[in-house]
Amino acid sequence: MPPVELQPILDSLLDGQTKGFPQDRPPVRLGEVGALGLRLTEAELDFPVAVLKRSALEHNAKWMAEFIRRSGVSLCPHGKTTMAPQLFHRQLADGAWGITLATVQEVRVAYSHGVKRIILANEPLLPGAIRWIQAALDADPEFDLTCLVDSQTGIAALEAFAEGRRPIPVLLELGIEGGRTGARTVAAALELARAVRASFRLQLRGVECFEGIVISPDPAADRDRIRTWLDDLGNLAKACDGEDLFETAEVLLSAGGSAYFDLVVQALGPIRLSRPARVVLRSGCYFSHDAGHYRRLLALLEERRPGPLPGGPGLLPALEIWGQVLSRPEPGLAFLTMGKRDVSHDLGLPTPVRWARPGRPDGPWAAPGSWRITTLYDQHARLELPVDADLQAGDLVGCGISHPCTAFDKWQVLFEVDDQYRVLGAVRTFF
């Protein structure tokens, strides 16, 4: 049985106003869509449509669970990738320690759907947001929320507007020069840690960074830069521990990217403090993975590993966007009913991976490597292919995406399918 907090999602209605839902079907509860027997390859959905392959999701969950088990660390996956409480609960059931989120609005979505342990991977500054955090912590003793700080301004804002019974746990963020947020030096971060320790409204729970911003054409330089950063994070934790600045029974040592979590384990796993420490990874993209950006980064991770990765083959792309061939106006050209409103394109264009022809039960088939999407318009994709390609108007083309974080947010509902693209259920997002 699904958690009771998910019941409103399962009871919500899908109809022809829902992108991807067939136009000739009466409204149906989301929780009942799997009973309709819909088949994507027979064009029984509307197009474009986003699908999640259940077998890939299950494989990725088992793969990461085994990695976590072997590494002796915890996983608090970043929920902003999917913003789907149904998937949050699957991740928790698979052993995730909690869920990471980026904004207080996202925190409220997760909390209202039964997620009780959350890392807010940002520094809250708005009075209304801080007051909600404080009120929620005071009202629910089981609510475990930790947020970040990286400045005296952030500490002052929390102190000014957090007026409740429970202190707000915080992680001290360490950044790098030219990077994103975070104190720029260990010395500067240590000064902030002392300020948190002096506050009766805050509670220093650990240290963290987001190493995922380090991506350049030179993987070896990236690796060295990240190792130095993680070493600095470890030194910050040791300095805080040496001054007795941590205020919780367990210290969190956390990093947040989906590309270098092996380096995080190597750097933070051996650290020993005067009190127990928990290494927390915050990778969010492992669950759906992709066919572009993260596929390339995982290949680099596999090269860095001294031995084979756990769980057989690496992570598999679970998310696909399917469009219908709208036109073959020239021999080497086709246009699909998907565009910038449907697929991510910030870290690469979608890649055709499968195609189907309604009425042909021997499909779907692998898309030839010679098929390439070269341009996206608002609602169309330009597909270039050999002049003799057997593709006609009405056929269906499924594409793998690059960067799931900017693909999920284009869909209110994604359909979960088996390997034959029979619809098994649906997942609602809350962007």
DSSP assignment of 134-159: HHHHHH-TT-EEEEEE-SHHHHHHHH
Q: Where in the sequence is the domain holding 21, given as residue range(s)?
A: 4-53+315-428
Looking at the structure, tell me whether residues 79 and 127 fall in a common domain. Answer: yes
Encode pLDDT of 270-299 as tens digits: 999 999 999 999 999 999 999 998 899 888
Q: Which two tokens stand for residue 37?
A: 């027997």
Q: Is residue 103 part of a domain?
A: yes
Looking at the structure, tell me whether residues 20 and 140 fall in a common domain. Answer: no
- Tally the residues of the chain: 431
pLDDT, position 3: 87
- Distance from the Cα of residue 135 to its chain's centroid: 27
Say if residues 344 and 402 touch (Cβ distance below 8 Å).
Answer: yes
Compute the mean pLDDT over every residue in the chain, rounded to the nearest whole number. Answer: 95
Q: Is residue 187 part of a domain?
A: yes
Looking at the structure, tell me whether residues 251 and 169 fall in a common domain. Answer: yes
Say if residues 75 and 96 touch (Cβ distance below 8 Å).
Answer: yes
Residue entry with tokens 């979505």: 109
* Share above pLDDT 70 across residues of the chain, in percent, rounded to a whole number: 98
Beta-carbon contacts of 198 under 8 Å, excluding residues fewer than 6 positions away, are none
pLDDT, position 310: 64
> pTM to 2 decimals?
0.95
Name the E strands within 177-318.
202-209, 251-255, 277-281
Candidate from 86-100, 157-171, 321-335 with smallest mean pLDDT: 157-171
Q: Is residue 369 part of a domain?
A: yes
Encode pLDDT of 234-250 as tens digits: 999 999 999 999 999 99
148 DSSP β-pair partners: 171
Does residue 307 carry a pLDDT above 90?
A: no
Looking at the structure, tell me whether residues 105 and 146 fall in a common domain. Answer: yes
Say if residues 161 and 130 touch (Cβ distance below 8 Å).
Answer: yes
pLDDT, position 301: 84
Q: Which two tokens stand for residue 80?
A: 């902003």
Phi, psi at 320, each rounded to 5°: -130, 145
* Share above pLDDT 90 across residues of the chain, in percent, rounded to a whole number: 88
Residue entry with tokens 């055709």: 352
pLDDT, position 300: 86
Once rounded to an integer, what is the mean pLDDT over residues 204-232? 92
Looking at the structure, tell me whether residues 214 and 76 fall in a common domain. Answer: yes
CATH number at residue 207: 3.20.20.10
Once rounded to an integer, what is the mean pLDDT over residues 120-128? 96
Give, as one character, the DSSP assignment of residue 243: T
Say if residues 390 and 405 touch (Cβ distance below 8 Å).
Answer: no
Q: Is residue 305 part of a domain?
A: no
Q: Is residue 175 part of a domain?
A: yes
Looking at the structure, tell me whether residues 46 and 154 fall in a common domain. Answer: no
Looking at the structure, tell me whether residues 150 and 41 fall in a common domain. Answer: no
Split into its structural domains, the chain has a count of: 2
Q: Is residue 307 part of a domain?
A: no
- Helices 104-112 and 127-139, packing angle to 10 deg: 30
pLDDT, position 308: 65
Q: Give, for 397, the enclosing helix (H) or strand (E).
A: strand 396-400
Last residue of a domain, one of 245, 271, 299: 299
Say if residues 171 and 217 touch (Cβ distance below 8 Å).
Answer: no
Does residue 151 carry a pLDDT above 80?
A: yes
Once rounded to an integer, what is the mean pLDDT over residues 252-256? 95
Encode pLDDT of 25-53 as tens digits: 999 999 999 999 999 999 999 999 999 99
Say if residues 55 and 320 touch (Cβ distance below 8 Å).
Answer: no
Looking at the structure, tell me whether residues 59 and 101 fall in a common domain. Answer: yes
Candidate from 42-51, 192-201, 206-215, 410-419 with smallest mean pLDDT: 206-215
pLDDT, position 311: 61
Inter-residue long-range contacts of 133-137, CB under 8 Å, 24+ positions, other chains counted: 133/104, 133/107, 133/162, 133/168, 134/161, 134/162, 134/163, 134/164, 134/166, 134/168, 135/164, 136/111, 137/164, 137/166, 137/168
197 pLDDT band, cuts 50/70/90, is very high
Encode pLDDT of 316-360 as tens digits: 999 999 999 999 999 999 999 999 999 999 999 999 999 999 999
Looking at the structure, tell me whether residues 170 and 24 fall in a common domain. Answer: no
Once rounded to an integer, what is the mean pLDDT over residues 366-388? 97
Looking at the structure, tell me whether residues 323 and 365 fall in a common domain. Answer: yes
Does residue 173 carry a pLDDT above 80?
A: yes
